[in-house]
Chains A and B, each alone.
Chain A
Amino acid sequence: MMEGEVVKLGGSILKTLDSYVEAASRLTMIKEEVVAVVVSAARGVTDKILRACEDDLKAGLEVLEFYYAMASQLSPGLARRVSEVLAPLKKLNDDCKDNPWLQARMLSLGEAASRLIMVESLEHVGVKSMSVPATSVLEGYGYPLNARIDYLGSKTRLLSALRLAVSEKAVPVIEGFVASSDGRVVVLGRGGSDYTATAIASLAGARRVRLVTDVDGIYTADPRRVPGARVVESMGYLEALEASRMGAKKMHPRTFEPHRLFKPVEVLVGGWDKATRIHPKPYTAPPRVKLVASKPLGRLEVLALIGEGAPTPKVASRVLDALYSAGVSIKSLHAVSGRPSLTIMVDRGSSSKALEVLHSLVGV
């Protein structure tokens, strides 16, 4: 078992070579702690490959050129390797649209190239680093575009790779989102890198997972709509999943699955310096309302107070009072048993007002 943390670098912070190198420099400061680095594809790449699979062949070439340009700045050898790895994007045709195996293989290329660039970026800043293809350590099963990780089938191979890294004092870099199923490439569904990172952490027995993105964490409300919104300090798994379901922070729905099955691990979501801590135990502190999320639904807006403290009569009555005083009429208010949220539906027109009112209940 390996103490320490798994760091997942999200696509939102991987935009240019500079951002790879910057992430690498950040990693130098904690490299003794790092069990593995999980990388996503650089920003926008997955969408482009999907478009290329639809029929926009140009998008595939753009991905190739984008990575090639970055790789060339690091070394000519890397540039050649990257263009070899991405070569199938040049030969895409109609077949991709309705062949999920082919689509999975094409999508995985964006992640694979990102791994190669991350490894070289780490070497560039003086950190010994090892390239560990997900396909050689993670076994998956199920639909090739939304596969699940076969934890036990992956454990031995994963651990032997991680142990090599420990003995070589090198940081292993693994691409997220990707696994192999009986020798063929599968992907884990949108946001699958989170799932990769937590699976690796649980199987390796790591203490912590850090999901690094370009925001500081999960906010008490959408900061673009609620000026007083701030980063939530900590929440439980269920609260985080609920927030994710309500669109507050997109996370793969199976992100916390490995933790439930294996070793529970603390998850940090956010930036390098500031993040929301998601802890395995639901009730470490008295239950509270942690945040308010919202998403449109036709002419209505679904608002949700999220937190173990939300689905209580006390909070419900405070919601009703506060919205009434603010002159907001509500369409419905309900809670679902076992889910840490209280859902309120209002007209779109009054949603901003409602959001602000509900935000004042965060912390209750």
Chain B
Amino acid sequence: MKVERDEAPNERSGVVSPLRGGVRSVRVAVFGFGGVGRELARLLAFRGGEIERRYGIRFLVVAVADSRGAAVKTEGFTGYELLKLVEAHRGGVSNTPWGRSGWSINEVYDEIVPDIHVEATPPDYSTGEPGLSHAFKAVRKGAHFVTANKAPLALKFWEIMEEASKNDVYVGYKATVMAGTPLVSMLRGLRGYSIRRVEGILNATTNYILSLMEDKLVDLSDAVRIAVNDGVAEPDPRLDLEGWDAAAKIVIIANTLGIRLGLSDVNREPLNASLKDVISAARRGFRLKYLAVLEGDGGGAWVGPGEVPRESFLGMARGVLNAVRIDVGVNVISLSGKGGGVEVTAHALLSDMLEAVRGWLPP
């Protein structure tokens, strides 16, 4: 059932649009079946029919995998079956009727190579694993790679892109930055512009924490605790507080703009603000924000706390909002929107999945 080479979705020739009555099946494998992976599965279950009617694309989930194993069904799970997988306990997809205990990506790919590989495993910024090996495996096997996990791209952006282009597959990563507010799509539309400066609030957790400090006049540790209780921060928010998350995002932004930058090139300062800093900034009409900045013309990148005028575009992005301001010399472009949450992230993945097979969509 593998899609034949000559009708590969990214080739414009032989486009079959739903306007002409064709429905294409696209096989999808989801690696990482936690919050994001499950939300995507649920989205496909609930909205699959609608996607098919609107775009003529039938996404068939043929495999899902967590850290303990996989569940595989080569003809694709039904909506009902997807929801059963979603209700499996954590690490439990291999205990379902389609389960293959201990299977990892190699066994799954030996059984079936998907058209689209979705990566929703946790990020590891030192090794990049498991995302990095998954990325290479996927693109080398000819699967489009759509990821919510930032680590592989933050560490080996160009290597992955080169391999993907060699194998003629798409890499979608809209979900990695501003989870769904389509910054990445916008950046792709800025090719050719000169980049003076990109500055943004890219991490929802730290922004929420700083907003709490200002609104409730609590110190950092209390604000962190409240953010965890409110369900905004992860129980272990270190990747956010130490700036790894924001740094990975600015690296992805830079590389999307054609500026080669590695994670280790980013000057990274953790969030260490005291309540006094927050108040002092407020007194002077500023707000303390956790910023991510990319300077054009080889000026490098940094992430860390910084002050912005309260009434400025970035100053007004509060709570879980993300905001970015891009100065391209002849224009300044601003974008803001939700920075996280499994639902928006799953939608971003779905949108990238459609992008991966855009050759089949009406122009």
Which of A3-11, A59-67, A158-166, A238-246 contacts its partner? A158-166
Say which size band chain B's interface belongs to.
20 to 34
A164→B79 contact, CB < 8 A: yes
Interface residues of B in 5-19 (CB under 8 A from A): none
- Chain A 130-144, CB within 8 Å of chain B: the 1/0 string? 111000110000000
Instruction: Give per-residue flags for B313-349: 1 if the beta carbon is below 8 A from chain A beta carbons, else 0.
Output: 0000000000000000000000000100111100000
User: Do residues B87 and A183 form an inter-chain contact, with CB atoms below 8 A?
Assistant: no
Taking a contact as CB atoms closer than 8 A, the residue among A95, A105, A128, A130 that contacts B231 in the complex is: A105
- The complex places the Cα of A56 from the Cα of B14 at a distance, in Å, of 66
State whether the Cβ of A184 lies closer than 8 Å to any Cβ in chain B. yes
Q: A132-B83, A136-B42 are known contacts; what are 13 more A-B pairs with Cβ within 8 Å?
A: A77-B88, A77-B92, A77-B96, A99-B226, A102-B229, A130-B80, A131-B83, A131-B86, A164-B48, A167-B49, A167-B79, A168-B78, A170-B80
* Residue numbers in A under 8 Å from B341 (CB-CB): 183
A157 within 8 A of B: yes
Quick check: is A84 within 8 A (CB to CB) of the other chain? yes
Q: Are A80 and B92 in contact (CB under 8 A)?
A: yes
B166 within 8 A of A: no
Give the Cβ gap from B89 to chain A, nearest Cβ, in Å.
Answer: 4
Binding site secondary structure of chain A:
helix
Given A80-B89, A84-B89, A183-B344, A160-B83 contact (CB < 8 Å): no
- Chain A proximity of B84: nearest CB distance (Å): 8
**CA–CA, A99 to B89, complex, Å?**
28
Assess whether A81 is in contact with B49, with CB atoms less than 8 Å apart.
no
- Nearest to A164 among chain B residues (CB) is B79
A116 within 8 A of B: yes
Instruction: Convert B68-106 into 0s and 1s, putting 1 for each residue whose CB lies closer than 8 angstroms to a CB of A.
Output: 000000000011100100111110100110000000000
* Contact yes or no, B49 A160, CB < 8 A: yes
A84 CB contacts on chain B under 8 angstroms: 89-90
The residue on B at minimum CB distance from A80 is B89
Encoded as 1 (CB less than 8 Å from any A CB) or 0, chain B from 186 to 214 comes to 00000000000000000000000000000
Residues of A near B78 (CB, < 8 A) are: 168
Contact status A81-B88, CB under 8 Å: yes
A101 on interface, CB distance cutoff 8 Å: yes
Residue-by-residue, is B140-151 near A (CB-CB < 8 Å gives 1, otherwise 0)?
000000000000
Report the Cα distance A161→B48, complex, angstroms: 10
Contact: B230 with A102, CB < 8 Å?
yes
Of all A-B residue pairs in the complex, the 8 with the closest CB atoms, nearest first, are: A183-B341, A80-B89, A81-B89, A168-B80, A160-B46, A102-B229, A164-B79, A101-B230
Q: How long is the Cα–Cα vector from A182 to B88 in the complex, in angstroms? A: 25
Contact partner, A116, options B87, B92, B344, Cβ 8 Å = B87
Asked if B293 is an interface residue, CB under 8 A from chain A, the answer is no
| Interface residue range, chain A | 20 to 34
Question: In chain A, what residue has the closest Cβ to B86?
Answer: A131
Decide: B230 and A184 in contact? CB cutoff 8 A: yes
Please tell me if the beta carbons of B88 and A95 are within 8 angstroms of each other in the complex. no
Bound-state CA distance A95–B344 (Å) is 28
Is A185 an interface residue when CB atoms closer than 8 A count as contact? yes
**Nearest CB of chain A from residue B81's CB, rounded to whole Å:** 9
Asked whether A147 is an interface residue with its Cβ less than 8 Å from the other chain, the reply is: no
Interface string of B38-70 (1 = CB under 8 A from A): 010010011111100000000000000000000
Residues of chain B whose beta carbon lies under 8 Å from any beta carbon of chain A: 39, 42, 45-50, 78-80, 83, 86-90, 92, 95-96, 225-226, 229-232, 338, 341-344
Tell me which of B79, B80, B83, B338 has the highest count of chain A C-beta atoms within 10 A of its own C-beta.
Answer: B83
Min CB gap A203→B, angstroms: 15
Known A-B contacts A136-B343, A170-B80; A99 and B88 likewise in contact (beta carbons under 8 Å): no
**Please, which residue of chain A has its CB at the minimum distance from the CB of B344?**
A183
Task: Given A81-B87, A116-B87, A167-B79, answer yes or no on A160-B225 (Cβ-Cβ < 8 Å).
Answer: no
Contacts of A344 in B (CB 8 A): none
Interface contact B95-A164, CB-CB below 8 Å? no
Complex CA distance for A119 and B342, rounded to whole angstroms? 23
In angstroms, Cα B229 to Cα A81, docked, is 21
- Please determine whether B50 and A160 come into contact, CB atoms closer than 8 angstroms: yes
Q: Find the B residue at minimum CB distance from A120.
A: B87
* Complex contact A164–B87 (CB within 8 A): no
By the criterion CB–CB under 8 Å, are A164 and B344 in contact? Answer: no
Minimum distance in angstroms from A163 CB to a CB of chain B = 7
- A95 & B46 in contact (Cβ 8 Å cutoff): no
**If A77-B92, A131-B86, A183-B344 touch, does A163 touch B229 (CB 8 Å cutoff)?**
no
Q: Which partner residue on chain B sits nearest A75 by CB separation?
A: B95
* Residues in B neighbouring A157, C-beta threshold 8 A: 46
B92, A130: Cβ atoms closer than 8 Å: no
Q: Which residues of chain A have C-beta atoms less than 8 A from B96's C-beta?
A: 77
Tell me, in angstroms, the Cα distance from A315 to B86 when the chains sit together.
59
- CB neighbours (8 Å) of B338 from chain A are 182-183
Nearest CB to that of B232 among chain A residues? Answer: A184
Question: Which B residues are CB-close (under 8 A) to A164?
Answer: 45-46, 48-49, 79-80
Least CB separation from B48: chain A residue: A164
Q: Which of A67-110 contact B (CB under 8 A)?
A: 77, 80-81, 84, 95-96, 99, 101-102, 105
Q: Which residues of A contact B47 (CB under 8 A)?
A: 160
A-B contact pairs, 14 of them (CB 8 A): A77-B95, A81-B87, A95-B226, A99-B230, A101-B231, A102-B230, A128-B80, A131-B87, A136-B343, A137-B46, A164-B46, A164-B79, A168-B78, A183-B343
Bound-complex Cα distance A80 to B45 (A): 23
Report how far A167 CA is from B49 CA in the complex, Å.
10
- Contact present for B226 and A81 (CB under 8 Å): no
Chain B residue numbers with a CB within 8 Å of A184 are: 230-232
Chain A residues within 8 Å of B88, by CB:
77, 81
Q: How far is the CA of A137 from the CA of B83 in the complex (A)?
A: 14
- Cβ-closest chain B residue relative to A158: B46
CB-based nearest A residue for B222: A95
In the assembled complex, how far is the CB of residue B58 from the closest CB belonging to chain A, in whole angstroms? Answer: 13
| Chain B residues, Cβ within 8 Å of A163 | 49
